[in-house]
């Protein structure tokens, strides 16, 4: 299988998640934290613990899409080694990086006409994208050809279910995603908004549970309705915004209902974390529908 799977640092993965699949290539991204530029991802100077520690000090972050030249540099290295390139990117409903990757690939197809070069829109984000990347690498290890893997991802990408709950409102307010009034009321009432990635890849607030325990119960309720481990796999990814207590609560709740779940934890990284802040909690699984 002479092809390389690429993604970028918008895919939230961890050693626990990726230890049992072939290595994928991850492209770092730029993050601005308190007005200072950082590189987040492989070879970067910003890790998750540092990122959230700075947020807890009251600092805010912003991210920018990866430019086409960066994608070209990374893709070219594999192409020059005779490897085909498959890129699985963040949903366009959240970022324009996927468009940048496509622009890079248009030029590279002229330069390497004998190679297969393709980007697949995943309609996934953060730990959801990380889970899809893991499962794609698993299929690659099982012997899927380039074309077979593209078809597999396109067939099952909308079966990756994302349920996120947000713990604080400051970063949503700072980014303009909620008003100051909504943030104040939400904090006062201890609301933990439950967000969902829609079929078109956009992020939508679905419910407004009060308190962490109720938010987790809502996440578990959705999983009860849709989880299909027997059809795809029993992998479940729990993402957290540097909150081990929340991670443990969610893990215990999942195992109480689904003892056969293969739970893998992962940090929610800077791309989503810049907007949601510390304490975010995500439950990701294979579902019958989104």
Based on the domain organization, do 54 and 177 belong to the same domain? no
Percentages helix, strand, coil for the chain, rounded to the nearest 5?
40, 25, 35
Query: In angstroms, rounded to a whole number, what is the distance separating the alpha carbons of residues 126 and 2?
Result: 27
Domain that holds residue 223: 159-286
Contacts of 115 (CB under 8 A, 6+ apart): 79, 82, 83, 84, 85, 108, 109
What are the tens digits of pLDDT across the range 115-168? 999 999 999 999 999 999 999 999 999 999 999 999 999 999 999 999 999 876
Has residue 177 got a pLDDT over 50?
yes
Asked if the model's pLDDT at residue 43 lies above 60, the reply is: yes
Q: Tell me what the mean pLDDT of segment 215-219 comes to.
A: 96
pLDDT-above-70 percentage for the chain: 92
Section 163-192 average pLDDT? 61
For residues 16 and 51, state if they share a domain: yes
Residues 248 and 112 in one domain: no
Residues 100 and 118 in one domain: yes
Q: Got the DSSP string for 140-159? A: HHTT--HHHHHHHHHHHGGG
pLDDT score, position 290: 83
Q: Which residues of 209-225 are buried (b: 16+ CB within 10 A; e: fewer)?
A: beebebbbebbbebbee
Judgement on whether residues 129 and 47 belong to the same structural domain of the protein: yes
Stretch (H or E) spanning 89: strand 84-89
> Is the model's pLDDT at 233 over the cut of 70?
yes
78 with 142, same domain: the answer is yes
- What pLDDT does 111 receive? 97
Place of tokens 């699985």: 88
- The per-residue pLDDT of the chain, averaged, comes to 92
Categorize the per-residue pLDDT at 185 as very low, low, confident or very high, splitting at 50, 70 and 90.
very low
Tokens 């309720």 map to which residue? 221
Looking at the fold, whether 168 and 36 belong to one and the same domain comes out as no
Q: Are residues 144 and 256 in the same domain?
A: no
* Span of 70-74, 162-166, 274-278, 285-289 with lowest mean pLDDT: 274-278
The whole-model pTM stands at 0.93
- Looking at the structure, do residues 231 and 241 belong to the same domain, yes or no? yes
- The confidence score (pLDDT) of residue 66 equals 94
Confidence of residue 31 (pLDDT cuts 50, 70, 90): very high
146-156 and 126-141 are packed helices; what angle lies between their axes, rounded to 10 degrees? 140
Domain boundary (129, 157, 185) is at 157
Check whether residue 152 and residue 44 sit in a common domain.
Answer: yes
What angle do the packed helices 68-80 and 97-111 form, to 10 degrees? 40
Mean pLDDT on 86-107: 93
């Amino acid at each position: 299988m002479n092809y390389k799977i690429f993604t970028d640092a918008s895919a939230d993965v961890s050693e626990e998640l990726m230890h049992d699949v072939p290595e994928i290539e991850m492209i770092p991204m730029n993050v601005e934290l308190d007005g200072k530029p950082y590189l987040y991802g492989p070879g970067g100077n910003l890790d998750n613990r540092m990122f959230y520690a700075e947020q807890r000090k009251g600092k805010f972050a912003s991210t920018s899409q990866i430019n086409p030249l960066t994608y070209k540099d990374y893709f070219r290295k594999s192409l020059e080694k005779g490897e085909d390139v498959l890129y699985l990117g963040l949903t366009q409903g959240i970022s324009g990086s996927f468009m940048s990757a496509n622009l890079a690939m248009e030029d590279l197809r002229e330069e390497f006409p004998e190679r297969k070069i393709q980007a697949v829109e995943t309609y996934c984000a953060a730990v959801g994208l990380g889970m899809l990347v893991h499962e794609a690498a698993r299929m690659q290890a099982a012997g899927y050809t380039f074309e077979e893997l593209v078809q597999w991802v396109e067939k099952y990408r909308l079966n990756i279910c994302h349920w996120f709950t947000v713990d604080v409102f400051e970063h949503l307010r700072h980014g303009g995603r909620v008003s100051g009034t909504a943030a104040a009321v939400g904090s006062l009432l201890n609301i933990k908004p439950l967000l969902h990635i829609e079929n078109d890849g956009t992020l939508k607030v679905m419910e407004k549970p009060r308190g962490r325990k109720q938010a987790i119960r809502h996440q578990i309720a959705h999983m009860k309705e849709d989880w299909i481990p027997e059809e795809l796999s029993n992998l479940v990814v729990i993402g957290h915004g540097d909150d081990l207590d929340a991670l443990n609560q969610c893990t215990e709740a999942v195992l109480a209902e689904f003892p056969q779940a293969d739970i893998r934890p992962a940090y929610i990284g800077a791309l989503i974390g810049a907007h949601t802040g510390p304490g975010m909690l995500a439950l990701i699984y294979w579902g019958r529908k989104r």
